Each structure stands twice: as C-alpha cells, then as structure tokens.
Amino acid sequence: MLHRALDAGVPEAPFYLMLAYEADYGGLSSLVPDDPVKAEAMHLLMIRLHGWKERPVPRPLDVASRARAQALARQWHEGPFKERSYRGQNRATFPHPGQPGYGGLPREFCTGHTLAP
C-alpha cells in the first residue's frame, strides 16, 4: 500500500518508506526489505517535497549509489509528485486516517479497504 501511495503522489508516503527502507523499526517497516539507496532517495525526495535539510553527514554510500538515489528522487518528484512542493505541511506527525479532518477516505491507492475513522 505504501508503494501505491507513492505512485499516487501522496506526500506522506516517502516519509514512511524512508523509515521502512532504513531499518526494521517494527510493524510496517519490518515488512519492507532494508535498502540504503532507496532510503537515501526517499530522504532526498523529502527535501524536494517538504523542504527538509540535507543531512550533515550523508549515508555512507559510494558515488554510484548516491547518484542512483539522486536519480530516483528526481524521477519520483517529476513523476508521481509532478514537481509539487508541500513546504509548510506539519512534518512532525503526518495525518493518518484516524486523525480528525483527514477526509477523503479511502484514498485511491487503498481502494477496496475500509479504514475506520
């Protein structure tokens, strides 16, 4: 569902995928295989989408892996997100279906699943 959310341009999806690709924090992230290149790509996408700052010390990736992460971030930003910016959105806690005011349930990427408010 997270990958479908990313493909649908849902601005919260890269944050959760970044966490999932970084390590197995439990729950949802344990279902996604760790991938340092994709984790860095999601972080770079969050910079483009939400104005996050570059990490003071980037992930220890070789030059080719870093270039691949940059290419993926650019591809996702230009593709599903149509080069949009969501700067100013509260990045501390992204809205989820259980929060008041979420609206629009269910989203297109999870059609067929009903989420209780």
For residue 52, pLDDT over 50 is answered with yes
Residue 70 resides in a domain = yes
31 exposure class (CB count in 10 Å sphere: 0-12, 13-18, 19+): exposed
Average pLDDT in the 4-12 region?
91
Task: Supply the pLDDT for residue 27.
Answer: 80
Instruction: Decide: 69 and 47 in contact? Cβ < 8 Å.
Output: no
pTM of the predicted structure, to 2 decimals: 0.75
For residue 106, pLDDT over 70 is answered with no
Domain hosting 24: range is: 2-110
Angle, helices 63-78/36-50, rounded to nearest 10 degrees: 40
pLDDT digits (tens, 9 = 90+) for 23-34: 888 787 788 899
Three-state SS at 48: helix
Residue 115 resides in a domain = no
Residue 116 resides in a domain = no
**How many domains does the chain fold into?**
1
Three-state SS at 83: coil
pLDDT digits (tens, 9 = 90+) for 60-91: 899 999 999 999 999 999 999 999 998 876 54
